Structure 1
Amino acid sequence: MSTATLERPADTTMGFKEIQAFLHAEARALDDREWDTWLGFYHKDCPFWMPAWDDFDTLTEDPANEMSLMYYPNKQGIEDRVFRIKTDRSSATSLPEPRTNHYISGIEVLARDGSEIRLRFNWHTLSYRYAKTDQHWGTSFYTIDTSGPRPLITDKKVILKNDHIHHVIDIYHI
């Protein structure tokens, strides 16, 4: 689904089915490797953070001063990662790119404040590459701004629950 399909009048309240469709469309863009479409889900100031688990099985709390599995302070960092994937300009780029399937469940609306919606949901991603299937799962927390012609993610925090991984984890794995 292209981001154009998600456009709607700015004064329309985003219901649960629209939220669900939005999350599934973002996941589908990753699965289909539609990088530009996927980037269209993000606000220019959106931080994208995956904290690490410390030695005491506690998540880190400060991406500037503690270890993170992934951290981009805004969309520019996400765009740079996508550029590197698309142009093979990264030692971490997986070639061939893995085939993925994202599954989303347990969507909860945590809060609504005007045009801002805070969400929590669980995810499970299967990834296939070199005749081997890997899986990753966790919980994501999004803040979505619905004030414009289409919803945009303004904050993304991803908790990877199975963090003992045997290869580099990338944006398409989560």
Structure 2
Amino acid sequence: MSETLATISAFLYREARHLDDREFDDWLELYAPDVEYWMPAWDDDDQLTEDPHSQISLIYYPNRNGLEDRVFRIKTERSSASMPEPRTSHMLANVEVLAERGDEVDVRYNFHTLSHRYKKTDHYFGTAFVTLRKGGDAGYKVARKKIVLKDDYINQVIDIYHL
């Protein structure tokens, strides 16, 4: 298990580094074509929304096409929410393997991201639940990612590089 945890942690650190270094194509390569990428919202009763198809989500992409479109907009400066691109620093902690089955591993970790833009630094923190599928050049591909943003009272548009 410790080798698996070390390998998984290295994969997650690589993903964060690609975001910090604005290596969006390399970041995308870590995601499976059928990935579900979801950040639910908090409802009025302080509960997370449960269904991205019928309830509000902060971000929801049912497959990698949505992520590819997002990266295209960022790279071609067609995203006013990303101009100028913020400088980010991702920190990950408490990486845990929750379950292993066949070629998939369920992982949970906490994150804290600092984002600097317009001479102001914002903090984003929360917990990510990720299903990694064994395979690919990096050893894994992200098959599912659910991001629980704990500080959801934010003063700007949230984007992939904040998480």
Place the TM-score, normalised by the shorter chain, in its bin: over 0.9
Report the AA paired with residue 19 of structure 1.
I
- The alignment's TM-score, normalised by the length of structure 1, stands at 0.89
Whichever residue aligns with residue 71 of structure 1, its letter is Y
Against the structure 1 CA distance between its residues 148 and 40, is the aligned structure 2 distance closer, same or farther, given a 3 Å change threshold?
closer
1:13-58: CA deviation from partner (whole Å, max 9, x where unpaired): x611110100000000000000100001100000100000000000
Q: Which residue of 2 aligns with 1:165?
A: 154
* 1:73-126 C-alpha deviation (Å, 9 max, x unpaired): 10010000000000112343x221000000000001000012110000000000
1:16-165 aligned within 5 A: 16-92=5-81, 94-149=82-137, 150-165=139-154
Match of 1:7 in 2: none
* CA distance in 2 between partners of 1:62 and 1:19 (Å): 28
> Could you tell me how far apart the structure 2 residues matched to 1:32 and 1:147 are?
24
Q: Distance in 1 between matches of 2:159 and 2:108?
A: 21
Larger proportion of strand = 2
Q: Distance in 2 between matches of 1:98 and 1:148?
A: 29
Q: Residue 147 of structure 1: CA displacement?
A: 4.0
User: 1:130, CA displacement in angstroms?
Assistant: 1.2
Unpaired runs of at least 5, structure 2: none
Moved over 6 A (4+): none
Residue identity (%): 57
- Number of aligned residue pairs: give it: 161
Amino acid aligned to 1:16: L
User: What residue ranges of structure 1 are gaps of 5+ in the alignment?
Assistant: 1-13
Q: How far apart, in 1, do the equivalents of 2:59 and 2:39 lie? A: 5
- For 2:100 and 2:132, locate their aligned partners in 1 and report how far apart those are by CA, in whole Å: 10
Separation in structure 1 between the aligned mates of residue 100 and residue 83 of structure 2, nearest angstrom: 41
Give RMSD over aligned pairs.
Answer: 1.3
Q: Secondary structure at the match of 2:35?
A: coil
Relative distance call for 1:148 and 1:130 in structure 2 (3 A) is: closer
Does the residue aligned with 1:45 lie in a helix, a strand or coil?
strand
User: SS at the partner of 1:165?
Assistant: coil
